[in-house]
Structure 1
Amino acid sequence: MNQINTLMPGCFVALITGLAALFLSEHYGAPAMLFALLLGLGLSFLYEETACKAGIEFTATHVLRIGIALLGLRIAFSDLSALGWQTAFMLVVAITTTITVGIVMAKILKLPPRLGLLSGGAVAICGASAAMAISAILPPDPEKERDTIVTIIGVTAFSTLAMVFYPYIATLLNLNDTNTAIFIGATIHDVAQVVGAGYSVSEQTGDLATLTKLVRVALLIPVILCILLVIKNKATKNLDRINSNTPNVPGFLIAFILLMIVNSVMILPSGIIQSADGLSRLALVVAITAIGMKSNLKQLLTVGLKPFCLLAIETMWIAGFILACLLFL
């Protein structure tokens, strides 16, 4: 009971702020994640208050993991087979090369490798959700949350621009309906913007674009597992740091896989899928609000334009790669 009383103030304020972000998103048409982050930053002074700090910390970690785990009910193994192995292989290569480009360009731009990994993963897989999932497994660092927030701001902005312009690019390049759907689903960062762009073309394009995007979301699992293996491998080279900095396979990842298996082998009622999807969205919005509250706005102002240049390069890379495959292969 004492722990509940300790967590309640921070959890409550994060929930109310997250609901406000969803309200603003529905009424003004901007991404809920962006509203949540901005509102959280505006209330960052609450993190300094002992009454709210514990609950905000809890929401930014545990509620985040619940939201990510519930994403597993969006995906089934049949989604992977429906696209065909050629498209699936193209997506795997696109994701791998985009993350690699992020890490390499971060080094060239003299940015932390962590930022290259976060931004590359966000652009390659599923935007803000991927950034938060990758951040959740990275070793603790004073600047990790700052880099996560910068990535979320940038990837949300580029995703919104892509939602507007990519359908026009597909028209200019005379892509057929199938290739237009694959282009939109394989390149736009966030699921909501993929849906917006796809259905602005046609219902069939929207359906296939969403399916393509969900396959990208499914690939979040092997990416996180690979990152965990790299972290463990590096940590074993310094025995003093193994216990403190080497994460095990997180529970939310196991839950994600189990829910994906359940959705693959069972026909679940649409009400359960929709409820889980809505709860996942709410959990992620509330969690990103708490992450914003934990952040120092002054630190964000010191990052400069380089991280956004990095995100622009990654965005152009994945778009160019997918277009080249669709046009020339």
Structure 2
Amino acid sequence: MLALPLILLPDGPNKMRLATFQDKARTIFPGLSVAGLVAVTSVFLSEHYGAPAMLMAILLGIALHFLSEEERTAPGVDFAAREVLRFGVALLGLRISAGLVADLGAAFVGLIVLATAATIGAALLAAPLFGRGRRFATLTGGSVAICGASAALAISAVLPRDARSEQDVVFTVVGVTVLSTVAMIAYPMLAAGLGFDPQVTGVFLGGTIHDVAQVVGAGYSVSDETGDVATLVKLIRVSCLAPVVLIVALAFRHASPGEARPPLLPGFVLGFLVLAAINSTGAVPDIVNAVASDLSRWALITAIAAVGMKTSLPQLMQVGRAAMLMLCVETVFLAIFVAAGAYLLTM
């Protein structure tokens, strides 16, 4: 009679963990599946009508705002907006390698790093002029300086949260996506007008346009050489994401009383760095890189759809014209900084 409990006892904790996992999966599935469906719809619209997938995801998400307040879907929406986001950002590490940095050359790499720091610094200095605080300046400056919507999502994950956090993220994602689309059309003509050669044009496009897709579109619309350089420069900008997020986490670690402190080294940043280090060894097959890139893209689109669901349109409209003007000023600052730097380096 005593043998049966002794045999079953080791399985007890495992069964409890399995039951807990199943309960959590059932809780998050409805909201997560809706966010995933919005992501699929957004990609369909992007592929068939040319609209930016991130922009479509956030706009469709805003239209489904009521689901973030529905008891059945709210947990899954929260999960997508936070955990799926972190997963997608971590996978971006497989796009980066030490070889990418070496191929461009120290001078241009230094220009990109300096432009990133200068843009974030300029945003922090300009924020009081536009009536905004450090958090909003860090969010918008980082998204403009690094990689648009992906950077906005990653930086927001380590910023202390307040009542305006969600609407600030949505505003930033929409703003940088629109500005990036405008830049994709205007910047190649601007580079031609400035007399830049194909390599410098690639540095300018990759160093200034916010989102990867728009960089690729703008670069290869000029020439294959320009497209290759622009994509390389853009990926080096993406590599700045991990150190910037780490610095932001440290800078905001001493939060106001009552606010949760961001972790010293967020797990998704560590994942990003580890994957980048592994990719630098050359041990990651191309097929794995391709799958990881697609998976990261889907995760980020799903996350931004969920962020959209958590945002009220009336609250979003309260961000105001000054904030949009601030985002435009940051974009123009980055363009002037990179154009001037690239010109000086090639004199």
**Class of the TM-score when normalised by the shorter of the 2 chains:** over 0.9
* Displacement of 1:241: 5.0
Aligned to 2:322: 306
Correspondences of 1:234-245 after superposition (within 5 Å): 234-235=254-255, 244-245=260-261
| Partner secondary structure for residue 303 of structure 1 | coil
2:287 is the counterpart of 1:271: yes
Counterpart secondary structure, 2:148? helix
Give the aligned partner of residue 36 of structure 1.
57
Partner residue of 2:331 out of 309, 312, 315: 315
Give CA deviations for 1:265-316 in whole Å, capped at 9, x if unaligned. 1332211111100000000000000000011111011122111101110010
Q: Aligned residue for 2:240?
A: 219
1:158 aligns with 2:174: no
C-alpha RMSD over aligned residues:
1.2
- Answering whether residue 267 of structure 2 is matched by residue 251 of structure 1, we say yes
Which deviations, in whole Å up to 9, do the C-alpha atoms of 1:181-226 show, x marking residues without a partner? Answer: 0000000011110000000011111111100000000011111111
- Supply the distance in 2 between the matched residues of 1:255 and 1:138 (Cα, whole angstroms): 18
Paired residues of 1:140 and 1:245 also in contact (CA < 8 A) = no
* TM-score, length of structure 1 as denominator length: 0.96
Structure with the larger helix share: 1
CA contact (8 A) 2:219 2:231 kept: yes
Structure 2 residue 87 is the aligned partner of structure 1 residue 66: yes
- The reply to whether residue 10 of structure 1 matches residue 31 of structure 2 is yes
Opposite residue 255 of structure 1, the aligned amino acid is: G
Cα deviation, 1:30-50, whole Å, max 9, x if unaligned, reads: 110000000000000111110
Q: 1: CA distance between counterparts of 2:235 and 2:180?
A: 16
Asked if 1:194 is matched to 2:219, the reply is: no
| 1:210 maps onto 2:231 in alignment | yes
Partner of 1:106: 127
Q: Structure 2 unaligned runs (5+)? A: 1-21
Deviation at 1:175, TM superposition (A): 0.5
Looking at structure 2, the residues matched to 16 and 186 of structure 1 have their Cα atoms a distance apart, in angstroms, of 33
CA contact (8 A) 1:139 1:247 kept: no
Q: Which segment is superposed worse, 188-197 or 261-270?
A: 261-270
The structure with more radius of gyration: 2
Contact 2:177 2:211 in 1 (8 A): yes
User: 1:246: Cα distance to partner?
Assistant: 3.9
Q: Which runs of 4+ in 1 moved over 4 A?
A: none
Which residue number corresponds to residue 112 of structure 2? 91
**Does the 8 Å contact 2:85/2:300 carry over to 1?**
yes
Q: Does 1:326 align with 2:346?
A: no
Q: Secondary structure at the match of 1:137?
A: coil
3-state secondary structure, aligned to 2:250? helix
Contact persistence 2:246–2:266 (CA under 8 A) = no
Task: Write the distance in 1 (CA, Å) between the matches of 2:175 and 2:281.
Answer: 37
Q: Which runs of 5+ in 1 are unaligned?
A: none
1:88 Cα deviation from its structure 2 partner = 1.0
